[in-house]
Amino acid sequence: MSRNIKEIIQKMTLEEKAGMCSGKDFWHLKSVERLGIPSVMVSDGPHGLRKQDEQADHLGINESIQAVCFPSACATACSFDRDLLKELGTAIGNECQAEDLSTILGPAVNIKRSPLCGRNFEYFSEDPYLAGQMAKSHIEGVQSQGVGTSIKHFAANNQEYRRMTGSSEVDEQTLREIYLAAFETPIKEAHPKTVMCSYNKINGIYSSENPWLLTEVLREEWGFEGYVMSDWGAVDRRVEGLKAGLELEMPSTNGINDKEIIKAVENGTLDEAVLDQAVERVLNVIFDYADHRREAVWDKEKDHNLAAKIEEESAVLLKNEGILPLNRNGKTAFIGLFAKKPRYQGGGSSHINAFKVSDAVSAASDFADIVYAQGYMTVEDKVDEVLLREAVEAAEQAETAVIFAGLPDSFESEGYDRQHMRLPDCQNHLIQEICQVQPNTVVVLHNGSPVEMPWADEVKGILEMYLGGQAVGEAAVKLLYGDANPCGRLAETVPYQLSDNPSYLNFPGDGEKVEYKEGIFVGYRYYDKKNMEVRYPFGHGLSYTSFEYSDLKLSKECMKDTDCLTISVKVKNTGNRAGKEVVQLYVSNQTGTSNRPIRELKNFEKIYLNPGEEKTVIMELNKRSFAEYNVDLHDWYVPSGKYEVQIGHSSRDIRLSAVVELISTVALPVKVHRNTVAGDLIRNPKTAPVISGLVKRMRSRFGKTEESEDEALSDEMEMHVLDGMPLRELTKMTGMDDGQLGEFIQVLNHAANQ
């Protein structure tokens, strides 16, 4: 429908305009009936609808409508499958239309900085490229149905402890390369209708009133055209937030902050044009939904089946010593409460009221010889001797034991962080007791974040389901018995213990600040750089078949940083069953110009191959694939030099590699000053001819000539000396005074920046 929104705004009263900048209640935006502005509803997500018709909250406390709980992002990221995430988003978008929801609050793309973050199950990855790609596809799917998304939580929100007041202290390079990068791609390429700002401060400024974040980066650099909404209760100073670029405050403040806006306009401290712009951005999204509103059929059973398919594609087979797939004719003990009552989602605002839940015992009982024992309780972390004895007896009498373990609801949720990285002690004890009587033991994990596995070497198989949604039981059984072939890959590193994590000494901070001292070395970037042993590396995952890589080709051997590089590689299924392989492309900076990670994920493709089938996978890399963020340029920069393109099965399993040389088209600004070291000037081809004369004068003062063979004055030693010598000292050695030094510095600066 064609309408002139600017004309509508001109007809609005000041009170009506201020009112459009906050919620009507907990979930609805305000209407202006006389101008045809409808009230629309938003709802929590991102892996299902948490629509609340009655009592409302943002922590999952009160009941919501019956819905479909899809696998959480901690699981779906492991699919490494863009098409699958788009299919998920499309289904959620259709559900929103069926329930008249204008915007789903998600996806959440915050980086998994620490395994302890209580909300990690909602986040995709420790890697910003993977997180950005998954979010982009999810958004495209949802918004293809005429429904908006709200990518969250913008930005640097990586813990729950003091999340509403704490300040994330992050340097600019780290922010750009890690924490903002996950948002940048989906915002630029998928164009979410809204962005949700985070609770926390960033370097002392609340996200909700940060003009650099909400206007300079988000709008001016990235071209975002929708509106920014607050997380529920994230606003400190409403008028300052409006000036910074926060259009919508949620939920309602019962008119309190609307009055602040009105007052600021009336006394001249807020330009009414700023308010008008905010209202226009909100109305654009409201009317976009109204124009795409349609009747939709929500087939919950169909979506349940999709949830099962997504989980089958996302679960990660971490270990398999020939025990999987299970023998259908053998007797198997299913042990653990989660076999009958699986933990399939996290707590808090994303908590879905699932209309049904499948469990592994029921799913397997139709065709397999199953005996079940509960094994443990989740109400408290305490060994129940009766349950333990029943479980051990069941395991002894079976050919195989499958233990369904994981984190109880109380261990991880929105609102608080985990206290440690362990499973409940009673579950670890159960696993160890079972291993003593049954050598053929498999552990199936239900958790939203990595756990320590002290029993990993004792069991023969480990299947990581993460929080797999309401169909997790049937998905687990299909994978265990080989009706589905595992093809998930870890979207995060599993360290041996919590103290190995790079943020360990700086998480969660002192309550006022949390310092991101590990910088860009998050997740596998840290573990690989330190050459540290990990339990399971980023990108790891096994299959019931095998794959072979060959014939890696690059379209160029040398290229400018503005060019694109095409990579092709052949992949063959060398096993006896069909399966999917995730081809991971990493880039390794070989220039030595700065302290960079060993390798970084820059592309991936998931392919399906029948036994014996071979396909050629083609991927592309662009300038950003090789770039680092340069704080002097305040832009992305590619140092000239060699880069290795690596094809891997994980970050620790590189199968093929080839080298390409990059030529930078951007010259870094050089500022020579009295304390610039001579070594840097000698290595710079532009300044080397200028300083060479000064070096010769220094040599002559020390009696060194071209014919000198004095070992004490060798070229190698001379270079070591010059490498750390500031100009002020070198010029003293050659008799220059301060005036002459100043003139010489001007000559060097002119030469350096030609």
Catalytic positions, written as ranges: 231
For residue 129, give the 3-state DSSP assignment. helix
Question: What is the distance between the alpha carbons of residues 144 and 376, in angstroms, rounded to a whole number?
Answer: 45
Dihedral angle computed from the Cα positions of residues 274, 277, 278 and 282, in that order, rounded to the nearest 10 degrees: 170
Using alpha carbons, list the distances in angstroms from residue 429 to 335, 375, 376, 434. Answer: 13, 10, 10, 9
For residue 172, give the 3-state DSSP assignment. helix
Phi, psi for residue 375 in degrees, rounded to 5: 85, -45
Close Cβ partners of 523 (under 8 Å, ≥ 6 residues apart): 112, 125, 126, 127, 492, 493, 502, 538
The H or E element that residue 128 is part of is helix 128-143
Secondary structure in 3-state letters for 425-468: HHHHHHHHHHHHHCCCEEEEEECCCCCCCCCCCCCCEEEECCCC
Residue type, 356: K
The pair of structure tokens assigned to 270 is 């807020």
Phi, psi for residue 660 in degrees, rounded to 5: -125, 145
For residue 342, give the 3-state DSSP assignment. coil
Q: Are 236 and 206 within 8 A, CB to CB?
A: yes
Q: Where are the beta strands (DSSP E) in 260-399?
A: 316-320, 331-335, 353-354, 369-373
Phi, psi for residue 238 in degrees, rounded to 5: -65, -45
How many C-beta atoms lie closer than 10 Å to residue 259's C-beta? 13
Closest CA to 349 of 155, 150, 603: 150
Helices (H) and strands (E) in the chain, counts: 23, 27
- Angle, vertex CA 249, rays to CA 246 and CA 251, nearest 5: 160
For residue 312, give the 3-state DSSP assignment. helix
